[in-house]
Chains A and B, each alone.
Chain A
Amino acid sequence: MTRSKVINGLKPVLFTLPAMIPFILFWLAPLLYVLYLSLTEWDFMSPDKTFVGLQNYADLFSNPAFYKALRVTVLFCAGSVLPVISIGLGLALLMNRKLGGSALYQALLFSPWVTPTVAVSIVWSWIYEPDVGLANTVLNFLGLEPIGWLQDPKWALTGVLLVTIWKSVGWAMIFYLVALRNVPSDLLEAGELDGASALQKFFRITLPLISPTTLFLFVVQIIQALQAYDQINVLTQGGPSGSTRTLLYLYYQSAFESFQIGEASTVAVVLVFICMLLSVFSLGVSKRTTHYQ
């Protein structure tokens, strides 16, 4: 009797172990470890880590390079998330009515999302080639000056952002198409009977009803933007002169290029903190304002 009780009590443990062991090993333990590392000074090679308390944080918050990376990160987030969401919504609105060949259009618009970022970034780096690249050929054809897409600090972030937007916009569109299809048509018809204009119907009925999708896309896109690495690595490697160096790229460089483990861990902790803040914030927003059907 007691033995079978013990076995029954153990069953849930057995069911959760296959997920919990790797989760603890590769998520939870590293997270605590990075918190500890951020309080030490270490160069990866020497056997000892020196405990320095909050010194790394003080150094980071007085380092201009950190604020520059923070600024690039905010620009990268805003410059990718807002266009992806608004263009995605615009395309979905246009496609929502009957349209011949819409399956083909959806597939073509969605395909960049499926393909490896590294491969498509290499293709884009050829398109951005300053002398004979397609981008400058088009500018030339339009009678505009050529741009140093990835070489000019003024334009490099724009170049990286274009690739990022190109990659995700079809994906966002598909989400909105699903959401728009779930907007009950009798609500829109009722609005029409009440004499609402198209714009009023959009802002008063459609937009609030698809707000869960907007919130979802917003959170996922921001977290993705905070973690963007592949396209930056292939296109600019954080340059020229730091114009595309995000916090994540700064973290990568200080960890695996200059081996300043303490500094790198501090940046990682700041990144985790930003993500959690955003998640908690979005949870709060979703509880308060989004409309679930």
Chain B
Amino acid sequence: MRIFTRLGQPVRQLFFAVIALLMAFPFYWMVTSALKTNDEIWRSPPTLWPEVPLWGNFAAAWNEAPFARYMGNSIFVATAIVVLQVINSGMMAYALTHMKFRLKGVFAGVILFGYMVPATAVYLPGYLVLSELHLLNSYGGLILSNCVSVFAIFLVRQAFLQVSHELVEAGEVDGASHMRILWTVLVPVTRSSFAVLALITFIEQYNNYFWPMLITKDPGLQLVSAGLRSFFVEGGAYGLKWPLIMAASSFTIAPLLLVFLLAQKTIMQSVNMTAGSSKG
């Protein structure tokens, strides 16, 4: 685009510097507000940097509500879901791409149909199903109700379709079982898809709010988003403790920003793959 290149490097540098600052500003505002006193946070005009940074606010917020528990719950539940999704979408995708059976078309159709249904629309009956199974208010309910993802099956299926059939046939000739072919031939070749799947699922589940909040009433089972929200409403009492609320938001977000920094390449790569899998 010549109109854009005509703008030249410095102009575009300046433009992106401003945009990036604007986008990142809420994060900056969150952390600096966490360091202020309540009086300073309510002062107008606001101060850009706290007069005396109160690092102790982080510890105070951490101790005021069971955040260790909330984050532990989120990390545990998200990890368990990732493991289960890797297993069941790997096996499902293998059956859909490398096995012959009568119901194949039906299964593929049913899953495509599931892709079109918004998850939130089935929350109410899903809640009733969980209650029938006596899985409300349990880790089991949180994990099992999220352990299958249509998106994951699509992503893995797409990856398996690109693996050459000769590779699989060679394994069959050697007399390897389907399980062996799947885990020792296909999965290693398509590991970047699995890495993407694991990361995206982890982020999504760690952040999950609506559904876990509905199916767990026990505060000891709350995930971090719901825990933060109840701290915001009850403990923080809307404005009485804004610095502590900001501190709590900061350490809720921190693990994800860390994961993002460490796995930036894989996450960005996922964009390429999800765009690819949508074509299939």
Q: Give A contacts to B, CB under 8 Å.
A: 9, 11-13, 15-16, 18-20, 22-23, 25-31, 33-34, 37, 91, 93-102, 104-112, 114-120, 122-124, 126-127, 129, 131-132, 134, 137, 166, 169-171, 174-175, 178-179, 198-199, 201-202, 206, 212-213, 216, 219-220, 223, 226-227, 229-230, 233-234, 248, 251-252, 255-256, 261, 264-265, 268-269, 271-272, 275-276, 279-280, 292
Contacts and interface: CB of A to CB of B under 8 A. Distances in A.
Given A18-B92, A117-B207, A137-B45, A292 B13 contact: no
B129 A131 contact: no
Interface residues of B, number: 97
A219 B275 CA distance: 12
A135 to B, nearest CB: 11
A230 B268 contact: no
Contacts of A119: 225, 228, 249, 252-253
Contacts of B43: 132
Contacts of B206: 116
Contact of B153 (A19, A97, A110, A219): A19
A30 B16 CA distance: 46
A12 to B, nearest CB: 4
B124 A261 contact: yes
9 contacts: A11-B178, A18-B92, A94-B12, A94-B16, A107-B261, A252-B123, A256-B124, A268-B122, A275-B117
A132 B45 CA distance: 7
A126 B253 contact: no
Given A23-B114, A120-B26, A30 B122 contact: yes
Nearest to A29: B129
Given A22-B88, A137-B44, A178-B272, A31 B122 contact: yes
Interface in B1-45: 1-5, 7, 9, 12-13, 15-16, 19-20, 23-24, 26-27, 29-30, 33, 41-45
**Residue among A93, A110, A201, A292 with the most chain B CB within 10 A?**
A110
Contacts of B121: 31, 34, 251, 268-269, 271-272, 275
B228 A131 contact: no
Interface in B90-130: 91-92, 94-95, 99-101, 103-104, 107, 110-111, 114-126, 128-129
Given A122-B228, A198-B1, A261-B124, 12 more contacts: A15-B92, A25-B129, A31-B117, A33-B125, A99-B12, A111-B260, A120-B253, A123-B26, A199-B3, A230-B225, A233-B229, A280-B116
Contacts of B228: 116, 118-119, 122
B267 interface: yes
Contact of A105 (B20, B44, B232, B271): B20
B145 interface: yes
B144 A22 contact: yes
B61 interface: no
Interface of B: 1-5, 7, 9, 12-13, 15-16, 19-20, 23-24, 26-27, 29-30, 33, 41-46, 84, 87-89, 91-92, 94-95, 99-101, 103-104, 107, 110-111, 114-126, 128-129, 133, 144-145, 147-148, 150, 153, 178, 203, 206-207, 209-210, 214, 224-226, 228-229, 232, 239, 242, 245-246, 249, 252-253, 256-257, 259-261, 264, 267-268, 271-272, 275, 278-279
- Report which residue of A15, A100, A212 has the largest number of chain B beta carbons within 10 angstroms of its beta carbon: A15
Contacts of B23: 108-109, 111-112, 166, 169-170
Contacts of A123: 26-27, 29-30, 246, 249
